[in-house]
Chain A
Amino acid sequence: MKKLSRTASSLLVSSLSLPGFTELLAAESEANNFQYRYTLYDEEPLPQNVLAQGDPDRYRIKSHQFRFEQDLNERFTLTVEGIHESMSGSSPWYVFPDPDRGPLQVMSGATISETRNEIGLTLGTQNNGVTHAFRGGYSTENDYDAVSAAYTGEYEQQNKHTTLSWGVSYSDDRLSPTDAELFGRIPHAERNSISASFGLTRILNRNALIQSGVQITHQDGFLSDPYKEMWINGGVFFDKRPDQRTAFSWTTRFRQYFVGSNAALHADYRFYDDDWSVTAHTLDLAWHQPFGENFELAPSIRYHSQRAANFYQPAITDGQQPKYWSSDYRLATYGAMRYRLSGTWRAEIWSLALNADIYNSSESLALSGPLFDTPALVDFWRISLGWQISWQ
């Protein structure tokens, strides 16, 4: 089908609030499609003034993603997704408390180079207005394998403009860190995670909708990072975290369409809290502005603030060795800004999307939480090019 005119699409969008029409039109839209996305992610090198030793060049990830969706028959839809990623660069090991220069970051010496492959299969079906999706996935890299299974369901209430969604997922992960013997790392470890979610979408009026959902995740097993270490009273010890973690998150998304400017505001907020005392707030604002029939620009800004885990410290110099410890910057108190510009071009059955991100993080951007100097906090840029074709 060719792109609809503004007249036709205004009527089509307006009809979506009629009972059952979202289901009716979604079922008859272009169900079969193929998407490919290439992403280049590049972390800024660690500044020399905070580098103790090792290679300052951090991660660079190239990722190829594809997704293929096809109706198998009248009832079932199969989705196949795949990712091939190659990573190179060095990663932070531990923080050295230099008495003169303050906390300095020790990086891995040799450049790490590895690849990750993931495949996911989803079988979707509809019955009496309820959509069910069953997903199985497998991810492998030279030191990590994960098998996952998930189920999600969705039900649109008749006449009430409300959609309920729910889901459960399970993942079984096995770690076999590289050079375990050489560095004394744990040779094999396991962890698993189970999560449940529930969400609700409500059409507020013909130009606005709100979506809200909660998720609970429980992780169990070896949850430490086998490559991370910590300076404790003059010695260097491997990262040691609790072997259980329960996290709660609440996400609310709001969409408002403005008829006059033919544009849409997307405002998303996420609250996160876990029993490691990590609390985080994320606010994402995006403005989707079409230009003409085929092109859309969407600038967006995202703010994230996180409170540190209760066992996080960059280093311990004169204290008792605690029960758990980690100097992983991802568990620190920090705040981050992400600026994104997305451009999408659509023509008939094709679409092309380009995203560019700039991300900066620092301790001073955090709303609250115990503050430490965390030299490994990362800045990065990311560019991503996607291509899609749809057919009936």
Chain B
Amino acid sequence: MDIKLYRQHFLSMGCPCEIGVFSADAKQAESAMAGAENEVHRLDKKYSHFREDSYITRLQITARQAGGVEVDTETASLLDYAATQFEISQGLFDITAGRLARLWHRRESLPSDTELSSALRLTGWAKLQWQSPRLSMPKGMQLELGGIVKEYAADRAALLLRRNGMHSAYVELGGDIHITGPRADGKPWNMGIRNPDQQRHQTGTAMAGIPVNCGGLATSGDYERASIIDGKRYGHIINPTTGWPVNSFQCVSVLAPSCLLAGSLSTLAMLMCHEDGLNMLDESGLTWLARGTNGVDHKG
């Protein structure tokens, strides 16, 4: 039997997604990929802020009412994880920054001071009450799970591939990757990191290739979903304490045991000042690559 690479492309979570598996059995490969794709769609449907009928949208409406709301186990674990992110980042990684994220979403002009201070007033993990499984939020606050859900979905999809016997496979959701194991020939996958100098949707050479045997690879950068205002680029990662997009790195990539961990650390580095970010990455014990705003690359 020939072992072949089967690939599947689809759109979910607002980005192009891809699943690839090495398998000797086309049917098994397709059924495993379908299972993984369904898992990504399930999480997109459940946690999308852009769907009025999503679980997270409805949850937030109820959570703003008196007494709050009891959340399901999966969401409770994600909120617990977000609490840890907030704690270890000393408030820089804050999922309550939904108002700020929406304020900066595809803007053509800078927000006014009033708009900024109004969004900042409704930002801050300390302002919501989270006692698992009960969540209570102040009126007007919006959660931003963008820095968690896509990475989590890549990990979950990879888990399902693995459970279906796909030990040589990858899941890529718009640059967030999870690899279940080496290629069929035992060699690592060579995963490219997109060059931030290139325009959105423009294909071309990668900034770097990282050989990956297994685990999660995530990249945070200002080239995705950025707003160009008066010729200046403003990324989508917002410092929840100042209300302004961060400006320490063009992009940061981290390779970790899970895509969720990789994404948390790459975003955290983006949120820190240049030097603190590099120190944090250096001490992390993981493989990483960062491009400073001056175009200088650092890696470890």
Partners in one complex: yes
Task: Give residues in A with beta carbon < 8 Å to B.
Answer: 1-8, 10-12, 14-15, 17-21, 23-25, 27-29, 74-75, 126, 128-129, 159-161, 205-206, 392
Q: Is the CB of B73 within 8 A of A159?
A: yes
Q: Is the CB of B261 within 8 A of A160?
A: no
Q: Is the CB of B261 within 8 A of A8?
A: yes
Nearest A residue (CB) for B281:
A5
Nearest A residue (CB) for B158:
A24
Q: Which residues of B contact A205 (CB under 8 A)?
A: 80, 132
Q: Which residues of B contact A7 (CB under 8 A)?
A: 88, 265, 268, 280, 283-284
Please tell me which one of the listed residues B84, B162, B268, B284 contacts residue A24 in the complex, with CB atoms under 8 A apart. Answer: B162
Q: Is the CB of B257 within 8 A of A11?
A: no
Q: Is the CB of B257 within 8 A of A12?
A: yes
Distance between Cα atoms of A159 and B87 in the complex (Å): 24
Q: Which residues of B contact A15 (CB under 8 A)?
A: 81, 258, 260-261
Which of the 9-residue segments B112-120, B163-171, B228-236 touches chain A? B163-171
Q: Which residues of B contact A24 (CB under 8 A)?
A: 155, 158-159, 162, 258
Distance between Cα atoms of A5 and B280 in the complex (Å): 8
Decide yes or no: A129 and B258 within 8 Å by CB, A5-B284, A11-B84 being known contacts. Answer: no
Q: Is the CB of A11 within 8 A of B264?
A: yes
Interface residues on chain B, number (Cβ under 8 Å): 41
Decide yes or no: A11 and B85 within 8 Å by CB, A17-B77, A25-B257 being known contacts. Answer: yes
B56 beta carbon closer than 8 Å to chain A: no
Nearest A residue (CB) for B93:
A11
Task: Give residues in B with beta carbon < 8 Å to A.
Answer: 72-74, 77-78, 80-81, 83-85, 87-88, 132, 152, 155-156, 158-159, 162-163, 165, 167-168, 180-181, 213-215, 256-258, 260-261, 264-265, 268, 280, 283-286
Nearest B residue (CB) for A8:
B284
Please tell me which one of the listed residues A4, A27, A75, A159 contacts residue B74 in the complex, with CB atoms under 8 A apart. Answer: A159
Distance between Cα atoms of A102 and B241 in the complex (Å): 80
Nearest A residue (CB) for B85:
A11
Distance between Cα atoms of A28 and B286 in the complex (Å): 15
Closest 4 A-B residue pairs measured CB to CB? A74-B167, A14-B84, A2-B285, A4-B285
Please tell me which one of the listed residues B83, B84, B258 contacts residue A21 in the complex, with CB atoms under 8 A apart. Answer: B258
Q: Is the CB of B284 within 8 A of A4?
A: yes
Q: Is the CB of A18 within 8 A of B285?
A: no
The CB with the most chain B CB atoms within 10 A, among A4, A7, A11, A75, is that of A11
Nearest B residue (CB) for A75:
B165
Please tell me which one of the listed residues B163, B215, B268 contacts residue A129 in the complex, with CB atoms under 8 A apart. Answer: B163
Distance between Cα atoms of A160 and B74 in the complex (Å): 9
Q: Which residues of B contact A4 (CB under 8 A)?
A: 284-286
Q: Is the CB of B81 within 8 A of A8?
A: no
Decide yes or no: A27 and B162 within 8 Å by CB, A5-B284, A7-B284, A8-B265 being known contacts. Answer: yes
